[in-house]
Structure formats: C-alpha cells, structure tokens
Structure 1
Amino acid sequence: MRTRLKTLLAVAVGALFFLVPISTTVARAACETEIDTALQEAKIPKTDVKEISVVAERGGGNAPRIEGYTAWVSRKSCSGNYVINLSNSCRATGAYASGDCKRN
C-alpha cells in the first residue's frame, strides 16, 4: 500500500510539472532583446515602462508545449498595456495597445 501511494504521488508531481507555467523571469530573459526591439520600434521609451510580464502560451493535447509568448508591458504614461506577441523562438509576430495606451 505504501509503495502504491508513493507511485501515485510521483505521478501527480510529474503531471503538475507540465501544468506549471514557465517562469516569467525565465521567459522575459529569453526574449529580452526582441521585447526591447519591439518597444523601440513602437517608440516607447524605457523610462515609460512600469513593468513587463511575459507569459508562455502553451498548446493543448497530451504533451503541452510552448507555442509562443505574450509580453504585457505596463506603461507609466497610460492605463492599459502594450502587448507583444512572440513566437516560441522569441520572434515578434505582432503587437497592439490596450486601454488608454491606444492613444499614446
């Protein structure tokens, strides 16, 4: 009985490993150059950036994989975000502004 419990616990921990999103810090570091380039192209100065959060976008199915990333850039000059879509190799594939940031 004890061995079976250990086995079930090991399987549960292994399953959770696939459900935990990639660390924002790791994703941001991996895509930092491309995020900086996208901000420069959008003419958003670094002094206007309040915070950058990067989220891994995962595919479904039995073997979830990272299909890309989304960088959410909070700005000091507006309420809303500048959102950068990135491929799984961190290439910028699109960007848009939300909230009041659409006007800036």
Structure 2
Amino acid sequence: MQNFRNILICGISFFALSSCAGNEDYLQQSIAAFGPEDCEPVVEQQIDRLKIDRNKISNIDYLTYHISEGDSGEEYNYQGWVSFNNCKGNFVVDMNKSCQILKTYSLGNCRMEDIVAQN
C-alpha cells in the first residue's frame, strides 16, 4: 500500500509540474506546499497579474478548505482571502494543495473595478 501511495503521489506531482513547464514565471511549478501560507507567493503573483491596488489591501488570510475525509486520506484545498479597506468583501484565490490556482472570484461588494489600480 505504501508503494502504491508513493507512486500515486509521484505521478500526480509529475503531471502537475509538466503541465506548467512551459512558463518560467509560473510560480506553482516550484512550490511544495505543506500549509496554506506556503501558497503566499502564488497569491502575491496573482495580485500583481491582475493589477490589484496594494494600497487598498488591508489583510490577506491563508486558509485550508477541507473537502472530505476518507479511507485514502484527507482531501483539502488552500485559499488566499484578500480583504480591502475600500469595500466590504474579499477577493479569493482558490488553489489545490500544490498551490495551483483553480479559480479566483470576488465576494461581497468588492468588484474588480473597485480594487484594481487606476492608471
């Protein structure tokens, strides 16, 4: 059983890394996450890519989102919740446990046009 688990983990890791190999700037290809805070560089990169105004950010929380527990182990994802001082709500970066971004979305009354830096 231990060998099967090791092979499965290696296979998943290889697939995840090979899918990002063409982009040197893709941070997720180089992160080994052991907790949600390990995904901080990915969230920071996403903030920069979307040109979110850092002066409007009041806090960033990193959370573990538990999906399920089963015989094969615990299933979970990581999230980065960005709070702002100019709106009530959050911008969420939803990632898998390898810090690969699954989706991003805003909650509350924080719309993208409210949090993006004005040129």
* TM-score of Structure 1 vs Structure 2, range by shorter chain: 0.5 to 0.7
- How far apart are 1:41 and its partner, in Å? 2.1
Match of 1:42 in 2: 50
Per the normalisation by structure 1, the TM-score is 0.64
1:84 aligns with 2:119: no
Find the structure with the greater CA-based Rg: 1
Matched positions, count: 78
Q: For the residues of structure 2 that align with 1:55 and 1:99, how far apart are their CA atoms?
A: 18
- Aligned 8 A contact 2:69 2:75 in 1: no
Gaps in structure 1 of 5+ consecutive residues: 1-25
Match for residue 23 of structure 1?
Answer: none
TM-score (norm 2): 0.57
Residues 69, 90 of structure 1: 8 Å contact kept: yes
Query: Which structure shows the bigger proportion of residues in helix conformation?
Result: 1
1:55 Cα offset (Å): 1.2
**Corresponding position of 1:16:** none
Displacement of 1:100: 1.5
